[in-house]
Amino acid sequence: MRSEVAALDAEVVGVSLDSAEKHEAFAQAYNLEFPLVSDRDGVIAGKFGVARLGGWLPTKRVTFVIDKDGVVRRVIHSEFGITKHIEEALDELRGLQQT
């Protein structure tokens, strides 16, 4: 997936409420090739509207496709269908290449 995203001149960044230490262990366990950002205080989650109960519960699983001007072009919601996130994000990125 990383090479396909890179070919579309895009980047993947993961954000969650987990600590940096948990992110490091997760990235190593799953051989992630993209950065993970720790949002321990929930500021990012709050700004993107994915916080639940003020940060007491895990955030919603949402993918945002953001263009180079900082405009959110697509929002993908699915708690369990990670392939939906990947497929729809790649579709949006391909579409952005054509404009």
| Structural domain boundaries, residue 74 | 2-97
Rounded to whole angstroms, how far apart are CA atoms 16 and 20?
10
Q: How many domains does the chain have?
A: 1
Mean of all residue pLDDT scores within the chain: 86
* Predicted confidence (pLDDT) at residue 8 exceeds the cutoff of 80: yes
Percentage of the chain beyond pLDDT 90 is 37
List the CATH number of the domain containing 27. 3.40.30.10
Rounded to whole angstroms, how far apart are CA atoms 85 and 98?
20
Claim: this prediction has a pTM higher than 0.85: no
Is residue 45 within 8 Å of residue 17, measured between CB atoms? yes
